[in-house]
Chain A
Amino acid sequence: MSDLPALEPLDDDDTRTIFVTTQRTVQAAPIEWVHYVLVAEGPERGLRVPLGANPVHIGRRAPCELVLADAEVSARHCELRLAEGELDAIVNDLGSTNGSYVDGRRVTGSLRWPPGASLQIGRHVLKHEYRPLREVQRSAELDRDVRQASRYLQSLLPPPLITGPVRSDWVFVPSAQVGGDAFSYGWLDDHRFAIAFFDVCGHGIAAAVHSVAVLSALRQRTLPGVDFADPAQVLAGLNDAFPMDAHAGMYFTAWGGVYDRTTRQLSYASAGHHPAFLVEAGRRSVRALATRNPMIGAMRPERFATARVDVPAGSSLHVFSDGVFEVRDTDGRQLGLDDFTPALLEPALPGVTEPQRLFDKVRRACGGAEFDDDVSLLTLTFLA
């Protein structure tokens, strides 16, 4: 017997259309919920460990189930276990030196740790998650894809040059595993060496996708009608190829140069990018190299301005993204380019590349905190 209401018979001239359907009973698949300990902040950010029937021990060394490489974490710092029949976890401090803090409250003995609450241990902040298993699995898949994208982008960057008249080193640290900084360099012919550095607005996946497109155009030299030995033409070509209206409103800043070893001159042009810096071999002077052009993709200037500088033997050129210096120090003070540039004249450190030395200095200035923006530092040394 149908459960549908009886329908009145239609007259021949009735123009109504009646849709008849049947009620469907959908059997929802059971959702499995799981507790997790997520490292939300700190050097080990991103680690996620399930919290189930067995307790999770956190400490600086194995056999803890969650090992945090953190000098402020005790060898066996605390234990986490689920409260039976409840959603809360229990934090049991194991006599740690620096303590454990649940939402800012120090754990003396044991303390409840509800889902969503924070647990600070050393320089790390952990979160208690209670999430569907399938959702966590999808996040993990996305994380794997992002890491793969990051490896791909890094593979497109040129390797450091350890031989020849021009040497190079670099540091590349995207803020979100992938970002919009990238650079390329290489010999155009037997005496001209080209450099291109750019920074797509924002960071993350969208910026990375755009930077790959720009990097490919530079690596493959596919900008039509462009003499790649002329930095102004390169910038103009990029500007024509990547208008922000056609690229989801994205623009990028750029710095380009061509070094001619026969004349020992560097011609350069920048577009919305802070200066690169040329430091002579004795580190007694530094020269800012920039020309005033709008960011790539934002406008259509009549021409891009270039300039030229002599390069004494042994000079180093430092090109870097603004993520290097737009940081806050340990007092919360916002730093700028002028706070960073004095470091360029400081002595080299044995066994440490210049980009690494500069990166470490900035990281110390902001107390080891993670960078908000992508960080790229490129140093080229012109030996001959």
Chain B
Amino acid sequence: MDLRINSQADPSVQLVVLQGRLDTAGVDAVETRFAAATAGAGRDVLVDVAGVEILTSMGIRMLLSTARAMSGRHKRLVLFGARDLVRDVLDIAAIDSLVPHAADEAQARALLQG
């Protein structure tokens, strides 16, 4: 599992890119850095999950915990670009009120505006 942070010209939004398998091992590999890059960023966060091959329960837990922490600071986390398997998992989890997901970055940014 790999995590990259893209600094953006827009100071109000941080872009984080996740790649690989977001399973137990993947979460172990990136959880601390992900928390620092998101909940610790002090701004809204867009997460590019186009490169995530699989999202398991531990991956959902990581996203959910982060979104809840950010919500407490009035910041939001929005995912975008999920592959079919990952999108199906997110749809079934029905946590989009806390962890919304969009088809692409433009729609994700629109969700942040709304």
Contacts and interface: CB of A to CB of B under 8 A. Distances in A.
A294 B60 CA distance: 12
B56 interface: yes
A290 B92 contact: yes
Contacts of A250: 61
A272 B24 contact: no
A249 B97 CA distance: 18
A251 B58 CA distance: 10
Nearest to B61: A201
Contacts, number: 57
A251 B88 contact: no
A161 to B, nearest CB: 28
Nearest to A199: B57
A251 B65 CA distance: 11
Contact of A272 (B54, B88, B92, B97): B92
Interface string A326-339: 10000000101100
Number of chain B interface residues as a range:
20 to 34
Interface in B59-96: 60-61, 64-65, 84-85, 88, 92-95
Nearest to A321: B57
B23 interface: yes
Interface string A277-300: 000000000000010111100110
A127 interface: no
B53 interface: yes
B54 A299 contact: no
B92 A201 contact: no
B64 A251 contact: yes
A273 B92 contact: yes
Interface of B: 23-24, 53-54, 56-58, 60-61, 64-65, 84-85, 88, 92-95, 97-98
